[in-house]
């Protein structure tokens, strides 16, 4: 099933468009000084996935979603916090990670899309 989803051109197009929009949000927030500079588009994508994969209650609510989103947003704000460990995760990093986001098409898009960023050493 995973291979079928990876190869679906509609899903690839949707994922690429979503990551480009997310990259623009990160770039804009960092340029205006509201988002800490050591966050990458991939960091934000990983946070969203972590929140969206939480267990739902029988009523369909995600336990603690409002609180998790508030904590996430607070951690993204630019302020006098210590630097995060490691380097910002870029979209290119996500595409090179084994799993559904890693396909030759995605690596080519990451190489030509400036919002995908380069991994800092």
**Residue with the two structure tokens 């904590």:** 71
Give the Cβ contact number of residue 20 at 10 Å: 17
| Phi, psi dihedral angles at 62 (to 5 degrees) | -95, 125
CB of 16 closer than 8 Å to CB of 106: yes
Per-residue model confidence (pLDDT) at position 94: 83
Per-residue model confidence (pLDDT) at position 82: 79
The whole-number mean pLDDT for each consecutive block of 10 residues of the chain, a chain of 121 residues, reads 69 91 95 93 89 76 76 83 84 75 44 44 39
57: CB partners within 8 A, 6+ apart: 63
Per-residue model confidence (pLDDT) at position 103: 44
């Amino acid at each position: 099933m995973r291979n079928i989803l990876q190869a679906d051109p509609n899903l690839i197009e949707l994922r690429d468009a979503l990551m480009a929009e997310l990259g623009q949000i990160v770039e804009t927030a960092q340029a205006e000084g509201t988002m800490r500079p050591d966050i990458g588009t991939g960091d934000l994508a990983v946070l969203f996935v972590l929140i969206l994969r939480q267990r739902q209650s029988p009523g369909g609510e995600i336990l603690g979603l409002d609180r998790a989103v508030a904590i996430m947003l607070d951690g993204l704000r630019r302020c006098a916090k210590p630097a995060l460990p490691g380097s910002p995760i870029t979209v290119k990093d996500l595409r090179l990670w084994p799993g559904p986001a890693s396909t030759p098409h995605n690596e080519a898009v990451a190489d030509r899309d400036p919002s995908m960023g380069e991994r800092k050493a």
